[in-house]
Structure 1
Amino acid sequence: MAMARMHNPAHPGAVLKEWLSDVSVTHAAARLGVTRACLSRILNEHAGISADMALRLEALLGTSADMWLGMQSAYDLWQAEQLPRPEIVPLNIAAPAH
């Protein structure tokens, strides 16, 4: 059974752009220890937030790495659900006993 997902969640780069609205991309990238191009790809929604970047954002902004990864996961799942896929017949196997 699929769980209900947020309708068209924001790309985490769009959220990060709001957080960094008063800071230049060059300055934020330097503080994060990444190139300006790397940060720009995220802010312009051409790249996602990796676990490493989530940890860097946690240190820079005082946010939670889990928050950034959760946003990325929600965005990725919603995007994947928009693509056609073949019908998949579930396996009828019992869950392992613990």
Structure 2
Amino acid sequence: MAENNVKGPMKNPVHPGEVLKNLYLEPLELTITDAAKGLGITRKTLSQLINGHHAVTPDMALRLAEAFNTTPQLWLNMQQNYDLRQAERKEKNYSITHFWTASKSDTARST
């Protein structure tokens, strides 16, 4: 039986650059050079994004949304999901103090 995790298991999201390449550039037969020109960025910048070496910034999300008829949120959410998963995978060598408090319903007494 699977353990019930309050936070829930996270899938393995791919870098948004991989999505851009596989779902947008390749089907449209766009080269990195042509796509970069259309986005108003350098070929190097787009190449680094596609290869997962750069993150999607808000500015880039706006450009991608306009160029491919999507939303900036789509690109930023993909990046955020990817970043969060990468952070969860890293070994954590730090100690965290828990600061949460019990809610009123948890501490209320029956009268």
Distance of 1:26 and 1:66 partners within structure 2? 25
Distance of 1:63 and 1:54 partners within structure 2? 9
Q: CA offsets per residue over residues 49-89 of structure 1, 9 Å max, x none?
A: 11100000011000111010000000000000111222312
Q: Is the 8 A contact 1:5 1:74 kept in 2?
A: no
Identify the residue that residue 12 of structure 2 maps to in structure 1. Answer: 8
Which residue type is aligned with residue 64 of structure 1? T
* Deviation >4 Å, runs of 4+: none
Distance of 2:25 and 2:74 partners within structure 1? 16
Unmatched segments (≥5 aa) in structure 2: 104-111
Match of 2:77 among 65, 70, 76: 70
Report how far residue 45 of structure 1 moved.
Answer: 1.0
Larger CA Rg, structure 1 vs 2? 2
Aligned alpha-carbon RMSD (Å) = 1.9
| Aligned positions, number | 95
Report how far residue 94 of structure 1 moved.
Answer: 7.7
Identity of aligned residues (%): 42
Instruction: Give the alignment's TM-score, normalised by structure 2.
Output: 0.77
Alignment of structure 1 residues 33-72 onto 2, 5 Å: 33-72=40-79
Report how far residue 6 of structure 1 moved.
Answer: 3.0
Larger relative contact order (CA 8 Å, sep ≥ 6): 1
